[in-house]
Amino acid sequence: MTYSIQTDEKTNITTITLVNGDLTASFLDFGARWHQFLAPDKNGKLENILLSLDTLEEVLVDQAQFGALVGPVAGRIKNAKWKGISLDKNLGNLHHIHGGSKGWWCQFWNYEIIEEKESIKAVFSLTDTLSGYPGPIHVTNTYELTQTGVTMTTSVTSKEVTIVNPTNHVYFNLSGDAKRKISDHLLTIKSPHILETGNLNIPTGKLISVENTGYDFNTPRVIKEAIKELKTGIDDAYLLENTSPQIILADSISGRQLTIDSNRQSVVVFSTTGFNDSFKVNGQSMSSEIGIALETQELPDITHYPEWGNIEIIPNETKTYQTTYTISSP
């Protein structure tokens, strides 16, 4: 196991690169981002299986949160209100999304490296006083690189009663260096329901069955076949079953398979359908279905639907969230 640390003079962003066996993962202190993940294909060729912005200058102005730790609350909060507290209206000048325009994804974090017997960790920490949430909120986000994948552990405490529902906004493409679309990937999600949404993807309060719909991935399904039915693609929250693995993403050509297990309630799946832009990822312009986001979290806008659960945190309470990403190839 080895690691390296390099700080870019232009952006002041520090890149931390961890190596363990056949896997290499790099992380950035800006947004506690998971920036790259190099894994072998069936022939042993190491390639990046994440969507990665080409330059750190692009990372510094990124509004799509590539690989970032998103919080305090990921997803949407209707009318940007929680118990009379007004949050940043950064979605349609009406609603709140992804912790606001000064959320965790665009703050610089402190970091340290911890070497264990069989793994190596990049530990990021932040005391958030900028996002506009009650606090201050202290968060620690640990990426542990093993010989089989990455385990992300996020622990949060607060000085005041507040709300937290973090996620990681990482985009995957198992073809390697995004040389093919994710359309031919096989996707499995152990989930009976998705969250119904309305205008601007604001939840309506209803859970709807995926059975006999384009949203059903309970058995392995080619993504493009589902999108033929869904037209605008996938940008939806799936209520996860308590089973293992909960999510499987596979690419038959490279032979890579990613499994995801989490103690989170749901996963938001975004197929990047229609996401075309001029900025560059993996040496090419951002384009539709070049990657897929699999964002584990509690259900979006859960603050307005207490029957789904509670994301409040009381003073000196610690909430801990964990998601494990395991990568394999034949």
Contact indicator for 230, 214 with CB cutoff of 8 Å: yes
Pick from 172, 166, 179, 164: nearest CA to 260: 172
Calpha distance 32→140 (Å, rounded): 10
Token pair, residue 82, equals 């929680």
Q: For residue 231, what pLDDT band results from cuts at 50, 70 and 90?
A: confident
The pLDDT value recorded for residue 267 is 98
- For 326, the 3-state DSSP assignment is strand
Pick from 283, 81, 36: nearest CA to 202: 81
Calpha distance 105→63 (Å, rounded): 9
CATH of the domain at 114: 2.70.98.10
Calpha distance 168→59 (Å, rounded): 15
Residue 330 has pLDDT above 80, yes or no: no
**Burial of 86 per CB tally in 10 Å (0-12, 13-18, 19+):** exposed
Give the residue-averaged pLDDT of 272-283. 96
Calpha distance 94→91 (Å, rounded): 6
List pLDDT tens digits, range 148-159: 999 999 999 999
**Burial of 277 per CB tally in 10 Å (0-12, 13-18, 19+):** exposed
Pick from 259, 263, 262: nearest CA to 250: 259
Pick from 3, 66, 58, 78: nearest CA to 31: 66
Whose structure tokens read 């640390």?
5
Pick from 279, 301, 295, 277: nearest CA to 287: 277
List pLDDT tens digits, range 168-221: 999 999 999 999 999 999 999 999 999 999 989 999 999 999 999 999 999 999
Mean per-residue pLDDT over the chain, rounded:
97
List pLDDT tens digits, range 120-149: 999 999 999 999 999 999 999 999 999 999
- Return phi, psi of residue 308, to 5°: -85, -20
List pLDDT tens digits, range 51-90: 999 999 999 999 999 999 999 999 999 999 999 999 999 9
- Return phi, psi of residue 61, to 5°: -110, 10
Q: For residue 329, what pLDDT band results from cuts at 50, 70 and 90?
A: confident
Number of domains observed in the structure of the chain: 1
The pLDDT value recorded for residue 316 is 87
Calpha distance 200→253 (Å, rounded): 36
Structural domain of 274: 2-328
Secondary structure (DSSP) of 263-275: SSSEEEEE--TT-
Beta bridge partners of 203: 197
The pLDDT value recorded for residue 242 is 95
List pLDDT tens digits, range 89-118: 999 999 999 999 999 999 999 999 999 999
What residues contact 282, with CB distance under 8 A and at least 6 apart? Answer: 48, 51, 52, 54, 173, 177, 178, 290
pTM (predicted TM-score):
0.97
Contact indicator for 158, 315 with CB cutoff of 8 Å: yes
Pick from 225, 228, 189: nearest CA to 210: 189
The pLDDT value recorded for residue 241 is 97
Residue 37 has pLDDT above 80, yes or no: yes
List pLDDT tens digits, range 259-273: 999 999 999 999 999
Strands 85-86 vs 81-82: parallel, antiparallel or unpaired: antiparallel
- Return phi, psi of residue 227, to 5°: -65, -25
